[in-house]
Chains A and B, each alone.
Chain A
Amino acid sequence: MTKAQRAPRKWGPWLFAATVGIFWLLLALSGRGYFKKLEQADQRYAVKAAQLEGVTRLRIEGDGGDAQGYWPATRVLLGGAPEVELSIRMRPADRDGKAASGQPGGQPPLSAVREGDTLVLRWATPRREDAGPPGRPQAWMNEIVLPAQFQELALSHAAVEARTAVDQLQVSGRSVTVEGPVAHLDLRSARCAPCAAQQATAGDEACPPGPDRARRSRQASLEVTARGMQTVRISAGAGEVILRDSEGLQRLELRLAPAVALSVDRAGALGLGAAGGGHGFNVAGPGEGACGLAAMGGRETVPSKPLDLVPVP
């Protein structure tokens, strides 16, 4: 067969290979360091250790309550750091111009004050639903690292993880998970009773008015991964309680309202009663000490001392 008789070369497959090659090259280029500036970076701040002497409690005020839709959980890392480190994530600007940058002048969107032995982190602006599109907060605390000296935490939506051994820890919140080597854990729901059963008033953040408050009350949850824990006490008046990895647990005390949904990893956990006998399962109600946020908020007034939030590069 002469050269002239040969079938014409097919360019289609080569063009397709080139197209796929360019596609892959573009995807790979998007991972280059040049575009790193487009990634959504967190704003990081620190409260220096010198200002935290004697501070053992943390309270976050102004976080999204159940009146709002989706609220991202704050990852709380306890231990392993000498100072408090905050990582705040801002929602990027919308195309319609609704920017979500911090306060004017680059100020952090929250303030830190000391009230006696309590570190109070307070959002600078009221965090209402009308501050942005429904269900989408403008800014939220993505992560907070605490020194091991903190023994009481009052926050809204959080995933608490003890990185070092902790003897005592009390956590109060609406939707909270706790894991790590905490010897004695006291976990309290900030929801005192099912909203559906309450006479909620307008503007009540804990129990929003409206037809769907019963649905939202079910979203309140307390979850404990009890591996490495000795005693666990859980108080809740609404929502659900979940207990996992309870094999090594020596004592479990549950103070729950009848409407609370309960899930345990094994039936034997319910027999871990007080002083090794009977059971510590109380369905009469959350009892004294529940409704943690309210309890902490109700302490006697102490003078506030502003603390410095130092930007961390």
Chain B
Amino acid sequence: MSTGNAPFSWHRFLLLARAHGAEQYRQYLAHMLVTGVLYCVLLLFALGVSRLSAFDTGTQSGFYFWGLYLTGFVFAGRYFDAMARRESALLALMRPASVLEKWLLCLLVVAVAYPLAYTVLFLAISWPVQQVVLAAQAMMERTSSFNPADYALFVPLLRAPKPALLLGPLQQWGFFIGLWALQALAVAGSLYFRRAALLKTLALGFGLAVLTALLCAASGARHEVIFAWWARRAPPADPAVHIFNALLWVGLPALLWWQTYVHLREKELP
């Protein structure tokens, strides 16, 4: 329910954020706890079967982005969980804030705060594990090709000691934009579908991914154009390529987030 005439008020926004935090912090803590436990189990398995070798910087970056995409999608899909439940939907809808304020808070929590919190959790677990792996490798592999630089801690958006073998910061930005688009899809799905929204959104996304792959094959889509901004090679000077990439990597994620705004507005009580 919208209150007042102004579409945005800092005072109302802060009150909304405070109320949201007070209500949801337990759920968010539980989400981070589950994420941390899952990462620890994955590490135990991966390091166990690989004799402590599957923790080079490239593998860490793989763990980071796979985890971020999976848990980020689930987190985004559950942000408006209260609206999906009959008993809490009315309360959520009647919160004294405008649609823009609710949408902005969602954007801030889902697309900014969650990746930051996930990164802190990832580093908090990875750093001690890296120290253990380094010590163990130094003891076990004294005569072989062990190089500590290969096991440097992966810190997102920082240049790695061996950049040629890893995703550069630029490519990582591409991954983050992809994450934001995926999160927007999850939020929109949770607002549009009434029951089993996350599952339905996942099914819809899978169907669209298959159709997209078929379309790419049929039209001969060129990765040199689609990923021109994120490729290791310098992008061509052709303005058409930059317009194309701006539409694809800025325009479409913005459209998806705008769509979540439209869904939220349509869900509001008149």
Contact = CB atoms under 8 A, between A and B. Distances in A.
Contacts of A20: 208
B130 to A, nearest CB: 21
Contacts of B224: 35, 38-40
- Most chain A CB within a 10 A radius of its CB, from B211, B220, B225, B258: B225
B247 to A, nearest CB: 6
A13 B192 CA distance: 8
Contact of A27 (B164, B216, B232, B263): B216
Interface stretch (A92-100, A176-184, A285-293, A301-309): A92-100
A134 to B, nearest CB: 6
B262 A15 contact: yes
B212 to A, nearest CB: 7
A12 B222 contact: no
A196 to B, nearest CB: 11
Contacts of A8: 266
B255 A134 contact: no
Contact of B225 (A23, A30, A94): A30
Interface size class of B (residues with CB under 8 A): 35 or more
Contacts of A133: 164-165
Contacts of B266: 8, 10-12
Interface string B156-178: 00000010110010100000000
A133 B165 CA distance: 8
A38 B259 contact: no
A134 B165 contact: yes
B145 A94 contact: no
A29 B145 CA distance: 47
Nearest to B168: A95
B215 A27 contact: yes
Given A38-B236, A212-B144, A19 B259 contact: yes
Given A16-B259, A215-B145, A136 B222 contact: no
Contacts of A34: 240
Interface string B138-154: 00000111000000000
A202 interface: no
A307 B185 CA distance: 60
Contacts, number: 104
Given A15-B258, A29-B244, A93 B234 contact: yes
B113 interface: no
B215 to A, nearest CB: 5
A93 B224 CA distance: 13
Interface string A115-137: 00000000000000000011110
Task: Among B219, B244, B258, find the residue whose CB has the most chain A CB atoms closer than 10 A.
Answer: B219
Contacts of A313: none
Contacts of A215: 145
Interface in A120-170: 133-136
- Interface range on chain A: under 10, 10 to 19, 20 to 34, or 35 or more? 35 or more
A89 to B, nearest CB: 13
A31 B219 contact: yes
A274 interface: no
Nearest to B254: A19
Contact of B259 (A15, A36, A212): A15
B97 interface: no
A93 B235 CA distance: 9
A23 B192 contact: no
Contact of A24 (B143, B215, B263): B215
Contacts of B240: 34-35
Contacts of A40: 224
A95 B232 contact: yes
Given A12-B188, A23-B252, A38-B228, A28 B258 contact: no
Interface in B175-218: 188, 191-192, 208, 211-212, 215-216
A236 B42 CA distance: 42
Interface of A: 8, 10-13, 15-16, 18-20, 22-24, 26-31, 34-36, 38-40, 92-95, 97, 133-136, 210-212, 215
Interface of B: 143-145, 162, 164-165, 168, 170, 188, 191-192, 208, 211-212, 215-216, 219-222, 224-226, 228, 232-234, 236, 238, 240-241, 244, 247-248, 251-252, 255-256, 258-259, 262-263, 266
19 contacts: A11-B262, A11-B266, A15-B258, A22-B247, A23-B252, A24-B211, A26-B247, A28-B221, A30-B244, A35-B240, A38-B224, A38-B225, A38-B241, A94-B234, A95-B234, A133-B164, A133-B165, A134-B162, A211-B143
Closest 7 CB pairs of A and B: A133-B164, A212-B145, A31-B220, A92-B233, A30-B225, A31-B219, A28-B219
